[in-house]
Amino acid sequence: MKKLTIIPRDKRFLVASAALSLTFVCGCGSDLTHTMAQTTSEDAQSDVAGEVGSIGAEEEADTLTGESARDGKVDFDTLRALNDDIFGWIYISDGTIDAPILQNAEDDKFYMTHNSLGAPDHSGAVFTEFPGRLDFCEFNEVIYGVDGEFLRSYMDPDFFENNSVIEIYKDGDKMTYEVVMARKWPKEDLLTHYAFSVDYDCRNFLRDTYDSVSLSDNVDPRYKLLTDMNFLVTLVTDLPEDPENQFMVIAMLADTENGTIDYPQGDIQWIED
């Protein structure tokens, strides 16, 4: 098996799994050009802050679309025919979470109260908000609507350790993320508080979340090594017993099947294993 190792010349690097280190021409502080997709987005702010609907954790697949990532594939042509807002798919814990990811161009809160087919539904759907990118080529892609009971299970250290893999699919690629932090956080809209296209705000997010950890938070040692060159997803849910705060599960990109890898400031080496 080949491993792709990137040796940065300016000491910027991507912490990933032991098997892979990679990065893209996009992310924090970039000019937001990319070769993975042609989707673009503009800067904007919204006020979604944790209180969202959630897809049922007991479901083995998305019953509305009939699709599942259990076989490692997602048919985005069929999904877009059902709802053009579907741009991704999330799969966690052997299908406990197995659902489309959506973004509505006109209303960030739309999928708080509508299902993945766009019909009114108090359970909502899994979604991101503008200006989150539709290609996941973002320093931190914030995702709402994943089942809250499931996400709050990451408070348990054993669950945190044994359910660390998050798979996210987009048209033409599959990304694997590894959970590196699960913690309580003040109820604020992360995309309003942090501009994840600006390098110092990316660093501020990493510093703020790490420096304020408590004994009740679960943190992988690798979190301390993350930089603004990493790619993260943050799953956000509410805390019913603590309305002043929300709960975040943060995962780092560890692998991508087909994403274009381009690190012009480093030397790329293939290492035979």
How many other C-beta atoms lie within 10 A of the C-beta of residue 37? Answer: 19
In tens digits, what is the pLDDT along the chain, a chain of 273 residues? 333 333 332 333 333 333 334 444 466 655 433 333 323 333 333 344 444 445 444 444 567 889 999 999 999 999 999 999 999 999 999 999 999 999 999 999 999 999 999 999 999 999 999 877 777 888 899 999 999 999 999 999 999 999 999 999 999 899 999 999 999 999 999 999 999 988 999 999 999 999 999 999 999 999 999 999 889 999 999 999 999 999 999 999 998 888 633 333 333 333 333
Q: If we measure between CA atoms, which residue out of 120, 115, 128, 127 comes closest to residue 63?
A: 115
State how far the alpha carbon of 75 is from the alpha carbons of 14, 122, 255, 269, in Å.
30, 26, 21, 33
Q: What is the Cα 22 distance to its own chain's centre? A: 17
